[in-house]
A and B are shown apart, each in its own frame.
Chain A
Amino acid sequence: SQTIHQWPATLVQPVGSPLSLECTVEGTSNPNLYWYRQAAGRGLQLLFYSVGIGQISSEVPQNLSASRPQDRQFILSSKKLLLSDSGFYLCAWSITGYNNEQFFGPGTRLTVL
């Protein structure tokens, strides 16, 4: 069966510090991968998605970036965090093709102080 992991589960970082959040998927190959952010009291905002290694589409221009160094690994990064980067970050995967739901990871709660 497929599983999706995210770490760390929680993170507290000072403004201006770097960020690296990792997401890995097991039990499938060539998944589509997604990063979403959920700010307090808001819905999910798509940040990045990837349909293959090295292929990243950015939905929101900001100080975050994403990389996909391996087929089942998706990394969210920042060189310098802002206060507004605080939120709950969710990674998701789906199988290529129609009518395929997205499966979400447990999420990372990021607090920038």
Chain B
Amino acid sequence: AQTVTQSQPEMSVQEAETVTLSCTYDTSESDYYLFWYKQPPSRQMILVIRQEAYKQQNATENRFSVNFQKAAKSFSLKISDSQLGDAAMYFCAYRSGFRGGNTPLVFGKGTRLSVIA
């Protein structure tokens, strides 16, 4: 079974600075997808960024980018120019490509990010 590990329960960053959240995963599959979700105090889960395992290029969405190291099974999230609205719980998630992608997400335990004004 696949597992996702987020080793940083809590992180903090100064407003306008850059922060990196770590995520490692364990799988024997070669076809899979990785995601970062954000859960603000409202508890609504919001997709931040996704990465396909077959793509070597790291995904980027505005101030959010990932460092995908497939051999090391590492998938870190970098937030640049941090804003107060970035304060939230961040979850790393894995999805198998098996069964045409009709598989549930496997989540890490999350990292709580605080942004200091």
Chain A residues close to B by CB (< 8 Å): 32, 34, 36, 42-46, 49, 51, 59, 88, 90, 92, 96-102, 104, 106-107, 109
Contact = CB atoms under 8 A, between A and B. Distances in A.
Nearest to B106: A46
A49 B44 contact: no
Interface of B: 33, 35, 42-45, 47, 50, 52, 91, 97, 100-102, 104-110
A49 B104 contact: yes
Of A51, A90, A99, the most chain B CB neighbours within 10 A belong to: A99
A42 B6 CA distance: 11
Contact of B102 (A36, A92, A96): A96
A98 B97 contact: yes
B101 A43 contact: no
Contacts of A43: 91, 107-110
A34 B45 CA distance: 13
26 contacts: A32-B102, A34-B105, A36-B107, A43-B107, A43-B108, A43-B110, A44-B105, A46-B104, A49-B104, A51-B102, A90-B45, A92-B45, A96-B101, A96-B102, A97-B102, A98-B33, A99-B33, A99-B50, A99-B101, A101-B47, A102-B105, A104-B44, A104-B45, A106-B42, A106-B43, A106-B44
